[in-house]
Amino acid sequence: MNQFMLFAVIAMLLSLGQGAPPISTRETTSIESFKTHFNDIMALISKEEIQNITYEHLKTDEEFKAAIQYMQSKEWLDLIETIRGKSEWIALKKFLKDTSIDVDVGIKCIERLFENVTLHLEPQIPPPKKSLKLFLIDVEQSLPSMKILNYLQEQVTKGVNFNVLFDRLSSDESRQLVQSVLALPEIKRVLKELADMGVNLLDVLSLMYMHFGWGEMAF
């Protein structure tokens, strides 16, 4: 979920880059200052509303329940634990953190959402399909897109230059770190499982490759 948000924000930053202020004001924007902007954006999103959507789907959405049940299984948790220990993943996270994007905070938010969830699944034959699709559609619709866009436009007007952030995210160093993570078999597995659950991060990634001028995604 947070990935979606992140890439949505990146896409917005891209379009805003075109209205960048003149060179003279550019140097004033430091990478560290973006932390404040990310926090401001996160503060616009109602955690309570997302929590409510989650509870609603846990009551009524069998495919969502099946997906959450799978994500609480040992198989999935082991996969995630393995990725967490991989040096490639740790290096990418460090790079993003130095770019003021804290992946761990995002992951913690998602974990907290499901922390105390207990599932009541009726055994079904055949078992229901696992899907996060309807849930994500509801979450996306609840996001205050216009407020976020307005906030970003306001910052650009004030002289904040998002190209600084963009240059770093699209740099060669960044590309190499992303490539190494995508080459991990466990990551390939997670992306495939998520795609089966209606979350196609590969589409989001190829869009990112295109926008960053990284060429075809090797996957």
Ligand X SMILES: *[C@@H]1O[C@H](CO)[C@@H](O)[C@H](O)[C@H]1NC(C)=O
Show the tokens assigned to 93: 């996270």
Using the rule CB under 6 A, which residue among 30, 52, 72, 157 binds ligand X?
52
Residue 115 or 173 with smaller CB distance to ligand X: 115
Give min distance, CB of 55 to ligand X, in A: 8
Catalogue the long-range contacts made by 101-105 (C-beta closer than 8 Å, 24 or more residues apart): 101/6, 101/34, 101/38, 102/35, 102/38
* Count of residues near ligand X by CB under 6 A: 7
List % helix, strand, coil for the chain (3-state, nearest 5): 70, 0, 30
Stretch that binds ligand X, among 34-42, 108-116, 123-131, 151-159 (CB under 6 A): 108-116
- Find tokens 């993943």 and name the residue: 89
Q: Which residue, among 123, 218, 144, has the nearest Cα to 175 in the 3D structure?
A: 218
Cα gap 31→9, rounded to integer Å? 16
Q: Does residue 147 interact with ligand X by CB under 6 A? A: no
Residue 55 or 219 with smaller CB distance to ligand X: 55
Cα gap 170→133, rounded to integer Å? 29
Amino acid sitting at position 48: E
Q: Does residue 196 interact with ligand X by CB under 6 A? A: no
Using the rule CB under 6 A, which residue among 28, 30, 46, 60 binds ligand X?
46
Residue 114 or 219 with smaller CB distance to ligand X: 114
Q: What region does 215 belong to: left with phi over 0, alpha with psi -120 to 50, or beta?
A: left
Site string for ligand X, 6-35 (x = CB under 6 A): ------------------------------
Using the rule CB under 6 A, which residue among 49, 88, 193, 196 binds ligand X?
49
Using the rule CB under 6 A, which residue among 115, 172, 173, 216 binds ligand X?
115
Binding residues for ligand X, rule: CB under 6 A, are 46, 48-49, 52, 112, 115-116
